[in-house]
Structure 1
Amino acid sequence: MKKTVCELFAGVGGFRLGLSKTNIDWDFVWANQWEPGKKTQHAFDCYVNHFGKNENHVNEDISIIDKKKIPNHNLLMGGFPCQDYSVAQSGAKGINGKKGVLWWEIRDIVEAKKPSFVLLENVDRLLKSPAKQRGRDFGIMLRSFNDLGYSVEWRVINAAEYGCAQKRRRVFIFAYKNKTKYAKKVNNYSLENIIYENGFFAGQFEVIRGIMSGVAVASESTYPNINEYNDLVDVSENFKYEFKNAGIMRAGKFYTVKTMPVEIKPVTLGEVLEKEVSEEYYLASNLEKWKTLKGAKKIERVSNTGHKYTYSEGTMSFPDSLEKPARTMLTSESSVNRSSHVVEDKLTKRLRLITPLEAERLNGFDDNWTNTGMPHKFRYFCMGNALVVDLVTRMGKELGEIIDSE
């Protein structure tokens, strides 16, 4: 089977860069990146700068693209936002998801192109969304894949626990067609064994096999079944489940369990710092404001219903420790806010922000990857949206072996 790839919501190319570092010959046949409301498409320009401009790099709203015209591919991959996936009955038109929700674009591509394998990335709260009906959105995803003839494995991975320089926790979702040789291979194993020993994530992201929580292991006949619901509308209106950080769905039945990583020593924040940086990154007269932002606080607030409550925040390290991996970067990195990293410069011993290059290193990108003409603030924004490249490289090695076996 050819290693043909379609990349959605490509950003600045983290998925593609991760696969390229496997030294496996991946053929990217199509990629899409579109930033709504942006006059200048900086992320797309960065992608094109690294991977070349041709007719298969598309800078258009995915919702207006004819899915049938996307080139055939065996691997569909991309990171997408956590949104409200709810669906409703729409008369003769059947079941409709909410307009503008990108999950439905992914689902439509899977239906139209039928890739053998799908690898997706999202924030880990997807497993618990929405707050009023925990697990509903992920249940809709599982049922969608099941209806299209796929099995699904998922794992929440904290990059720092597997040797990377950032405590970035994301859920990765691996779906595969039930007709593949890979599916037939893993069907020989129990759902439990797939998670711990024989599944997609088990080889590259080892976990401790010990006391488990979640569904009883006694018999797969006791496992919840997404097919017990009539259709996606039924799932949307009635499904609720406490998904754990790892799981597998096969033929509608799913098993989910909380796993603990076999940790690898992480790269520290101190190890990614540049030796000399520009004066613009140092904190100036607003040092006291930073101390206030990072300090503990209790603030009286009033809810929309008029209810008074106390909003509390604990103390954050100020500056950030150089002996530990970085905290999760957000899109607001470098702005004057509580979540931005502040470090003591190794050379000058003065406090400063991290640089765009250091932000790239925290995600495993090559130095100056985003130095393609975009403003500094947007370089941070791109890294706040990006995934950790090294994780994709490890998954890519596994994917290469799987596709070779097809």
Structure 2
Amino acid sequence: MKNIKVVELFAGVGGFRLGLEGWEGKSSTSNYSEKFQTPYQVIWSNQWEPSTKIQHASMVYESRWDSKNHSNENIEEVVKDCTVIPDCDMLVGGFPCQDYSVATTLKNSKGLLGKKGVLWWSIHKILSDKENKPKYVFLENVDRLLNSPSKQRGRDFAIILQSLNELGYVVEWRVINAADYGFPQRRKRTFILAYHQSTAIYDKIKAGAPLQWILSKGTIADVFPVTEAAKAVVSEFKLEADIVAISEAFNLTGKKTPFENTGIMIDGVVTSVKTLPDYDADFTLLKDVVIDAKSVPAEYFIDEEDLPKWNYLKGAKREIRKNASGFEYNYSEGGMIFPDPLEKASRTIITGEGGKSASRFKHVIATPKGLRRLTPMELERLNMFPDNHTYIDKMTDTKRAFFMGNALVVGVIEQIGQSLLNNI
């Protein structure tokens, strides 16, 4: 098969690229030990972090791949002239979860202007402006995307679906918890695949039954099998309006999103159903990624005098607190398992995982030498990155942990990417 040219947006430290291309000819699902032949080729990438002067993630990305075709500029500025972005077969990216509402229409122009700083509109502009549109769009977002905002449940996802519909795509999606399919971390994310009307897959989907595609025949279902949840009700409706009207009027009751965790959109008609994972193969556990305690620096072990702070933060609470203005209120929260169980997949890594200070959310494991936090390399393994992928000169361990809190589980991308190849 000829190369499938890929443009990667919001690249971070390269999770999508690792899943599609592998690393040094090896696959993530083999812990980078087995050969991996793939036609995917990232020909252009962009990574820009607006909240920091030093572009740490881009530094890692450029150190691992050729920086010649990598852009470290604000994507909102880049897309003002989309000719600088090469034509591609597939556009991919883990775009931020934001408020996607439409601010205003642009007179005498195709496309729409969303609120400033909302990066979905950068994707939209590329797809709108490109005469040779990408045949496939592969995106990742948090699971709450299907449920936001709180006053118009599902509106943001409806805007995305209708945007893609107007641009000539059919779209399938699935919320996947990586640990449900044997991967080492409980990380739940929404994965979106769109197929342009110029592709054979588009025709195949339109000729078949929507439910059959998303439950058994489709790209995602092939590698992440599901069963319908008990008493599942199929939700089917048409996105009647353009995206301006959807932004203003979609689901104003705000009670429940009409989008279930598995679904498809064809010509504006949405079909979705609640599904459960159907997996009975091997599982990777937290203990499988842990390195020998002898190799762990002393700073990762919890000092005895700090243990009460950890116990308090991890424990259950029912207490009276005061806010900044002096108002007293009852505060309660449940306890967490402490230390983290080694015989299960890990909890979700968050961006605040790094640093020595006590925290409710940081991972702590028991070792023969005492309780300790996870090292950056162990966090990389939980996201199925190569060992020390984020290790470059002068990069702090705290920043390396932050990268993994923002990253995705590479194996999920790899499997969906390989299933898409089979369909192509």
Partner of 2:51: 37
1:363 aligns with 2:364: no
1:68 aligns with 2:90: no
CA drift of 1:299 comes to 4.1
Partner of 1:195: 214
Evaluate the alpha carbon distance shift between residue 192 and residue 302 of structure 1 in structure 2; reply closer, same or farther with a 3 A threshold: farther
Partner of 1:58: 71
Partner of 2:423: 402
1:247 aligns with 2:248: no
1:107 aligns with 2:116: no
What's the secondary structure of 1:110's corresponding residue?
helix
Evaluate the alpha carbon distance shift between residue 303 and residue 184 of structure 1 in structure 2; reply closer, same or farther with a 3 A threshold: farther
Listed as ranges, the gaps of 5+ residues in structure 2 are: 23-35, 252-256
CA distance in 2, matches of 1:23, 1:304: 57
> Could you tell which deviates more after superposition, 25-34 or 351-360?
25-34
Q: Which amino acid aligns with 1:73?
A: C
CA offsets per residue over residues 229-270 of structure 1, 9 Å max, x none? 2x2121011112431111100010011111000124421111
Q: Which amino acid aligns with 2:403?
A: C
1:154 aligns with 2:168: no
CA distance in 2, matches of 1:301, 1:271: 40
What's the secondary structure of 1:249's corresponding residue?
strand
Q: Which of 172, 179, 186 in structure 1 is aligned with 2:205?
A: 186
TM-score by length of 2: 0.88
Partner of 1:258: 274
CA contact (8 A) 1:4 1:26 kept: yes
CA distance in 1, matches of 2:321, 2:209: 50
CA contact (8 A) 2:300 2:374 kept: yes
CA distance in 1, matches of 2:66, 2:301: 36
CA distance in 1, matches of 2:403, 2:211: 37
Evaluate the alpha carbon distance shift between residue 269 and residue 188 of structure 1 in structure 2; reply closer, same or farther with a 3 A threshold: same
> Could you tell which deviates more after superposition, 161-170 or 185-194?
185-194
CA drift of 1:200 comes to 1.5
CA drift of 1:210 comes to 6.0
CA distance in 1, matches of 2:128, 2:328: 48
CA offsets per residue over residues 141-180 of structure 1, 9 Å max, x none? 0110011111110000000011111000000000111231
CA drift of 1:400 comes to 2.1
> Could you tell which deviates more after superposition, 91-100 or 255-264?
91-100
The aligned runs of 1:371-386 (5 Å cut-off) are: 371-373=391-393, 374-386=395-407
CA drift of 1:26 comes to 1.8
Question: What is the RMSD of the two structures over their aligned residues, measured on CA atoms?
Answer: 2.0
Q: Which of 225, 235, 238 in structure 2 is aligned with 1:225?
A: 238
Evaluate the alpha carbon distance shift between residue 90 and residue 386 of structure 1 in structure 2; reply closer, same or farther with a 3 A threshold: same
Q: Which of 161, 169, 173 in structure 1 is aligned with 2:192?
A: 173
CA contact (8 A) 2:354 2:399 kept: no
Evaluate the alpha carbon distance shift between residue 70 and residue 321 of structure 1 in structure 2; reply closer, same or farther with a 3 A threshold: same
Evaluate the alpha carbon distance shift between residue 307 and residue 53 of structure 1 in structure 2; reply closer, same or farther with a 3 A threshold: same
CA drift of 1:300 comes to 4.1
Evaluate the alpha carbon distance shift between residue 262 and residue 306 of structure 1 in structure 2; reply closer, same or farther with a 3 A threshold: farther
CA contact (8 A) 1:212 1:258 kept: no
Q: Which amino acid aligns with 1:126?
A: L
Partner of 2:311: 291
What's the secondary structure of 1:152's corresponding residue?
strand
Listed as ranges, the gaps of 5+ residues in structure 1 are: 217-222
What's the secondary structure of 1:7's corresponding residue?
strand
Evaluate the alpha carbon distance shift between residue 207 and residue 307 of structure 1 in structure 2; reply closer, same or farther with a 3 A threshold: farther
How many pairs were matched up? 392
CA drift of 1:33 comes to 0.5
Partner of 2:62: 48
What's the secondary structure of 1:213's corresponding residue?
coil
CA distance in 1, matches of 2:177, 2:387: 22
Partner of 2:287: 270
Evaluate the alpha carbon distance shift between residue 85 and residue 389 of structure 1 in structure 2; reply closer, same or farther with a 3 A threshold: same
Q: Which amino acid aligns with 1:27?
A: Q
1:343 aligns with 2:359: no
CA drift of 1:290 comes to 0.3
CA drift of 1:39 comes to 2.1
What's the secondary structure of 1:157's corresponding residue?
strand
CA contact (8 A) 1:161 1:265 kept: no
CA contact (8 A) 1:212 1:257 kept: no
1:320 aligns with 2:340: yes
CA contact (8 A) 1:19 1:396 kept: yes
Partner of 1:236: 247
TM-score by length of 1: 0.92
What's the secondary structure of 1:133's corresponding residue?
coil
Partner of 1:141: 160
Q: Which amino acid aligns with 2:71?
A: V
CA contact (8 A) 2:228 2:273 kept: no
Evaluate the alpha carbon distance shift between residue 25 and residue 179 of structure 1 in structure 2; reply closer, same or farther with a 3 A threshold: closer
Partner of 1:85: 100
Q: Which amino acid aligns with 1:235?
A: I
CA contact (8 A) 1:78 1:121 kept: yes
